[in-house]
Structure 1
Amino acid sequence: MPYDPTDARSALPTATARKPAGAPTPASHVKWYELPPATTDGDTRTWYGRSQHLIIGYTDLVTPTGFTVPATHADECAVLMPDPGTSAIITIEGEATEIGGQTLTFIPPGAADVRLTGTGRVVTIFTARSGVAPGPAANEDAYTEPRPGVAPLVNWPDPVGGFQLRTYDLDVPGLADPPFRIFRCTSFMVNFTHPRTGPRDTTRMSPHTHDDFEQCSLIIDGEYTHHLRYAWTTDLSQWLDDEHEKCASPSLTIIPPPAEHTSQAIAQGVNHLIDIFSPPRADFSRMDGWVLNAADYPMPEDEATA
């Protein structure tokens, strides 16, 4: 993979992505800034987008709002609050916990009530198979059939000490280059990168591929160009053109395997992109010190020793 030698990802094991088994599938670009919200509550607006395994919500929080997770919910879900002016009260089995902004909280399986207050952005993450997302995904039509080449979602081992509400501070150091802050739960991984100021250095792009999982690239500030190149099959009629898709904020792009891809920050001000993967990435997880909450969420034995 052509990473710059100063990029920490250059230490990842080199692999060549396989060719797709059938016709390649295009990326899904969900430009929420061009779409009506899926739900409104007073002046608060929420949009949703999805991948094969996840439904991701983006809330522009102005007036208090919330949602309820039913007892039948069998997977963890998450509330990510990048702004200090937001807060949440999460109630589980009658016990209410108040959580401030600039945090990522994993909510255990089962019933929960989430109340959001303040002003700012809130991101919610649910597994698609749970069917508990509070609103419809704008790109639902892209997933009427399972995407080829995407591995099934198999949960990783239960967390140390059992399932419980777990909150992590986002205002912490992570990797220096790239500026990653990575957290995982049993069914997905969040890479809350540090925001960048100004356009990306175009001499240090990072085109790469993934064998069997989608990358959910969520833009919450600024503007990016997603560059994608699709693998060729023996059938020329199945070939897809290269993409150089400009996406502003807020937006969600789902990058399919095994498309070669890289994202280029292009706005003069703050650019902030968050990557989400389901299931958690084993390659990132094997790198010592990369996953900031690895002590809470163990890897599968076969992935740890691969």
Structure 2
Amino acid sequence: MPYDPSDARSALPGATATATPTGPGAAADHVKFYALPPVVTDGGTRTWYGRSQHLVIGYTDLAGETGFPLPGDSGEHADECAVLMPERSTTAFVTIGGETTEVPGCTLTFIPARAGTVRLSGSGRVITIFTARTAPPQARAANEESYERPHPAVAPLAAWPEPVGGPRLRTYDLDVPGLAEPPFRLFRCSTFMVNYIHPRTGPRDTTRMSPHFHDDFEQCSLVLEGDYVHHLRWPWTTDLSEWRADEHEPVGSPSLTIIPPPALHTSQATGEGVNHLIDIFSPPRMDFSKMDGWVLNAADYPMPEQPESGEAR
């Protein structure tokens, strides 16, 4: 579907393409953390988890101190994980190989696949991101049963090249300019991409919605603040029994919605106050990555080699 001409995504290749149904689409998952008991409680700190096919995402309401072990290198997969702290009132202490690094709030940190620990201190919100194949035991997703069987429309996860200079702790300030419209701040590692969208105040302009779809990857939309409605429409196949009704799902915060391919979707901020939603994709989005200047840490994380023009794809 086309974007509004003022939306930078209107320049993406295939932005006006139409989804080609390949079979029954998976249902969306709306994991409303605010309506669920926490998976982990540590004093006044509470943590919930939700997942997509390739990711396990944690939301922690931090009050004091808590910690968790790092998954390390499984041998088969050496996937990074991440800690995202939207507020300066939180601090992370990451210990790897006996060396501890203090990480301030208002940052996104990619952590290499090494044995170690993360200790969180302060008060505020902390988001943790693991790949599903290396997530630690405590990361039990509320929607785990949705992935008892892999979703066939989602492509397998293949890691992108190692970062320049090899695996190490990398921290990025979130208080930086990104795109103007939409207000994206994009960061990637070798297995996933975080779009830390600027928060907005008040409801979204309903004359400037952005319905679109993804061919073969899920979108993980994490609502940090405010209220939204997720609008979803699945393409019809030739088999009537596979059709799904449209969804217009209201969610509050915090919540995690997993949007499956190839569902047409857009999210509408409805709260009168601050509304803040961020998106996480695995693997990193190639279309965003190809756009010059969009990914703020692109110099650290190379893209896979692309075929020369005219070669088979």
TM-score normalised by the shorter chain: which range applies? over 0.9
Q: What amino acid does structure 2 have at the position aligned with 1:8?
A: A
The alignment partner of 2:306 has SS state of: helix
**Are 2:32 and 1:31 aligned?**
yes
CA contact (8 A) 1:41 1:63 kept: no
Sequence identity (%): 70
2:71, 2:135 within 8 Å by CA — same for their partners in 1?
no
Identify the residue that residue 7 of structure 1 maps to in structure 2.
7
What displacement does 1:20 show?
3.6
Q: Which residue of 1 aligns with 2:161?
A: 157
- Secondary structure (helix, strand or coil) at the match of 1:141 reads helix
Distance 1:142 1:304 in 2: 39
Is the contact between residue 227 and residue 270 of structure 2 (CA under 8 Å) also seen in structure 1?
A: yes
1:159-194 Cα distance to aligned partner (Å, 9 max, x none): 000000000000000000000000000000000000
In the TM superposition, residue 72 of structure 1 has moved relative to its aligned partner by 3.4
Which structure 2 residues correspond to residues 216-227 of structure 1 after superposition, within 5 A?
Answer: 216-227=220-231
Residue in 2 aligned with 1:93? 97
Q: 1:120 matched to which residue of 2?
A: 124
Q: What is the TM-score of this pair, normalised by structure 1?
A: 0.97
Residues 223-269 of structure 1: per-residue CA shift (max 9 Å, x gap)? 10000000111111110000000010000000000000000000000
Indicate conservation of the 8 Å contact 1:17/1:210, yes or no. Answer: no
Aligned Cα root-mean-square deviation (Å) = 1.3
Gap change, CA 1:266 and 1:237, over 3 Å in 2? same
Q: What residue in structure 2 maps to residue 195 of structure 1?
A: 199
Q: Does 1:291 align with 2:292?
A: no
What is the rounded CA distance, in whole Å, between the counterparts of 1:303 and 1:272 in structure 2? 37
Kept after mapping to 2: 8 A contact 1:225/1:266: yes
Q: Distance in 1 between matches of 2:276 and 2:141?
A: 22
In structure 2, C-alpha distance between the alignment counterparts of 1:150 and 1:267, rounded to whole Å: 32
1:290 is displaced (CA, Å) by 0.2
Q: Deviations over 1:21-44 (max 9, x none)?
A: 321111000000000000100010
Distance 1:198 1:304 in 2: 46
Partner Cα distance (2:206, 2:52) in 1: 28
What pairs with 1:160-179 in structure 2 (closer than 5 Å)?
Answer: 160-179=164-183
Please give the alpha-carbon distance, in whole angstroms, between the structure 2 residues aligned to 1:290 and 1:82. 20
In 2: Cα distance, 1:203 partner to 1:256 partner: 25
Aligned partner letter, 1:48: Y
Deviates more, 1:296-305 or 1:77-86: 296-305
Equivalent residue, structure 2, for 1:261:
265
Per the TM alignment, residue 133 of structure 1 is displaced from its structure 2 partner at its CA by: 5.2
Distance verdict in 2 for CA 1:262–1:70, change over 3 Å:
closer
CA distance in 1, matches of 2:94, 2:26: 38
Deviation per residue, 1:93-130 (Å, 9 max, x gap): 01110011000000001212100000000000000011
Measure, in 2, the Cα distance between the counterparts of 1:271 and 1:197: 6
AA matched with 1:86: T
Please list the CA deviations of residues 201-224 of structure 1 after superposition, one character each: whole Å capped at 9, or x if unmatched.
Answer: 000000001000000000000010
Residue 233 of structure 2 aligns with an amino acid whose one-letter code is R
Q: Is the 8 A contact 1:225 1:244 kept in 2?
A: yes
**Aligned counterpart, 2:47:** 46
TM-score, length-normalised on structure 2? 0.95
2:141 corresponds to 1:137: yes
1:105 equivalent in structure 2: 109
Shift of 1:272: 0.3
CA distance in 1, matches of 2:11, 2:225: 29
The residue type paired with residue 23 of structure 1 is: P
